[in-house]
Amino acid sequence: MRDIAVFSGSAHRELAAEICAELGIPLQPSTLTRFANDCLEVQLNANCRERDVFLIQPLVAPVQEHLVELLLMIDAARGASAARVTVVMPHYAYARSDKKDAPRISIGGRLMADLMTTAGADRVLTMTLHSPQVHGFFSIPVDHLHALRELAAHFVQYDLRNTIVVSPDLGNAKEAASFARMLGCPVAAGAKQRFADDKVAITSVIGDIDGRDVIVLDDEIAKGSTVIELLRVLKAQGAGAIRIACTHGLFAAGALGRIAQHPEVAEVVCTNTVPLAATEVAAGNGLLTILSIAPAVAEAMRRIHDGESVSALFNQQGPISGQSLF
């Protein structure tokens, strides 16, 4: 992979280093400077000319700072005559702004996609977008990964004969059904309603929950309102032990600590698409398990660089035996 150059923004350098270790290549240095007027400047401190450049930067808090840094990295790579610039964005925070559900509001997911394209990105590699339609907001190729197989490979260690997979809402039911097939489990979904003040209500879970252990699958956990409301309903419908799985463990505003207070929760599993501080991990009171998506992202990057199919990574169907896809 001599013609590849990988740089990282400041959002998640640990993940970038892990990805480069999987690829067997060095993480190239870069410098972020903040001037007296609060403007940012990015310098890529390695040759980019006619190279396949990958820029690793999940959009996590502070999202606006990391977004501007990413745009500047893209512009720097384009100005340095990179042959191709691929944005590796494991978490796209603006994917939640995907529709006009109130008068006179912006659709941030589309606007930020346009900004990346205008800055000079040729391709995007991302994981588990909040809504499938966000893929179409980009006018450049997008490789959309998911972490279902990594999550499933973790859960097959348990006795799942009395387990059901539950999606918090019908919007995530398709992914939950795919996940349930991997585990050989049935699937259920919550009847969820979100109100204007961002409050969440789940009236019931559609499926046979009584007496069963549960794996709750969601794309991300931010404030945890949906998961906590779902825990209430699952308990009322007679669920047993509950494990919670998500790709993006944001755990904002003390969400992990609030979830850990529920005695029926046996485990919370997320991936490392976003960085977690030690204090946030400690709030899980030993319940949190973090899985690495570095092997999956590294393999996708290798395939992009070599001109191979990325979608072929997800063609395997049915139950898995416990081994990771990679």
State the catalytic residues: 192
Cα 10 to its chain centre, rounded Å, is 17
The C-alpha atoms of residue 113 and residue 71 are separated, in whole angstroms, by 11
Nearest in space to 114 (alpha carbons), one of 139, 144, 131, 77: 139
Q: Angle 185-188-191 (CA atoms, 0-180°, nearest 5)? A: 165
Neighbours of 255 (CB within 10 A): 21
Indicate the helix (H) or strand (E) that contains 142: strand 142-145
Structure tokens at 62: 């502070």
Residues 192-214: b if buried by 16+ CB within 10 A, e if exposed: beeeeeeebebeebebebeebbb
The C-alpha atoms of residue 21 and residue 85 are separated, in whole angstroms, by 20
- Is the separation of the CB atoms in 268 and 250 below 8 Å? no
The C-alpha atoms of residue 30 and residue 38 are separated, in whole angstroms, by 19
